[in-house]
A = this chain, B = another copy of it.
């Protein structure tokens, strides 16, 4: 590899001059700069970013940690963040925690050791980036999509509480009185918000919480499928389901199909986010959609702020509203037919670890 020293030798100038010429320092004669640049080019010189980073103590890189590389919830934002960051001369490196605490901590640490200038973090536990604080207290962290219990970091999340309440309002407006919620692990801020909003919507409509079961399961379509099965078995009176995770929606649909429950005639379904297919299948899926791009932009702005002004500033917590997209998977309930059909056709699915709780029981 050609080094700066080589370039200096060939162009007959000192090391400092080469560095200045290449970095656009104004105090270097134009012709000198031209010569240096020409030589560098001709020699195929490429800066060693590691050395630069070590010297300047900035790698001009920010790290993004997501729980799932295949989930649009995080990756749609990632796409935007990368572009916005690139505009400010920063590069994004992405790691995946698989929703596992120890992996999360691991990657957090490892990115910090790689001297990223900031971290965009989708926490997978309430403790969030706490482990980092001990070793890298000054590394800026911005939380994305989810919040940990830390209140000293910036964050950008969607307004899922209002979203869930809106979903309930929509369903209640159609006449539903027995609504189920299927969401993720209760330790996550997103699930918490969804449950809070769900209950709020129910209370506003004067619907008893105990009529409306909540299932908290892993974010896989399989888990959602099993949860739906179990839930419908236990609560055959349910006429509408809010599948509050994008992957979960597919699982719910599958379970419904196994039970021969027609959507929306026998069961209304509201999905989460708005993947392409929601609008391409029959029935088109009603959903609660978050402006993922906008959330990415907001995160990038926060990041760049922290990057530029190393001055401490009070943490900013941004909550971005979503919208309800009413399509064809929700309709007024058909009381008699629905429950009958549900009992008529038993499921053949194997049941796995699925926690089901009634909304009323845990509400305090």
Q: Which of B61, B76, B79, B114 contacts A49 (CB 8 A)?
A: B114
Q: How far is the CA of A96 from the CA of B82 in the complex (A)?
A: 8
Q: Which of B69, B109, B277, B280 contacts A75 (CB 8 A)?
A: B69
Interface presence of A282 (CB below 8 A): yes
Q: Tell whether A46 pairs with B112 under 8 Å between CB atoms, given A70-B76, A281-B253, A282-B281.
A: yes
Return chain B residues, CB-CB under 8 Å to A75. Answer: 69-70, 75
A44, B279: Cβ atoms under 8 Å?
no
A46, B280: Cβ atoms under 8 Å?
no
Q: Which of B50, B76, B92 contacts A54 (CB 8 A)?
A: B50
Q: How far is the CA of A136 from the CA of B45 in the complex (A)?
A: 10
Q: How far is the CA of A135 from the CA of B113 in the complex (A)?
A: 27
Q: How far is the CA of A299 from the CA of B264 in the complex (A)?
A: 44
Interface presence of A194 (CB below 8 A): no
Q: How far is the CA of A70 from the CA of B79 in the complex (A)?
A: 8
Instruction: State how many copies of this chain the complex holds.
Output: 2
Interface presence of A72 (CB below 8 A): yes
A113, B282: Cβ atoms under 8 Å?
no
Return chain B residues, CB-CB under 8 Å to A282. Answer: 257, 281-282
Contacting residues of chain A (239-260) with chain B, CB-CB under 8 angstroms: 247, 250-251, 253-254, 257
Interface presence of A276 (CB below 8 A): yes
Q: How far is the CA of A69 from the CA of B82 in the complex (A)?
A: 10
Contacting residues of chain A (50-70) with chain B, CB-CB under 8 angstroms: 50-51, 53-54, 59, 61, 69-70
Q: Which of B50, B70, B254 contacts A115 (CB 8 A)?
A: B50
Closest B residue, CB atoms, query A110 = B91
Q: How far is the CA of A134 from the CA of B42 in the complex (A)?
A: 11
A134, B247: Cβ atoms under 8 Å?
no
Q: How far is the CA of A1 from the CA of B115 in the complex (A)?
A: 11
Return chain B residues, CB-CB under 8 Å to A280. Answer: 221, 250-251, 253-254, 257
A113, B49: Cβ atoms under 8 Å?
yes
Return chain B residues, CB-CB under 8 Å to A281. Answer: 253, 277, 281-282
Interface presence of A93 (CB below 8 A): yes
Closest B residue, CB atoms, query A1 = B136
Q: Which of B46, B53, B96, B115 contacts A79 (CB 8 A)?
A: B96
Q: A283 to chain B: closest CB distance in Å?
A: 9
Q: List 7 A-B contacts (CB under 8 A).
A: A44-B135, A49-B113, A69-B79, A70-B76, A78-B96, A93-B93, A253-B280
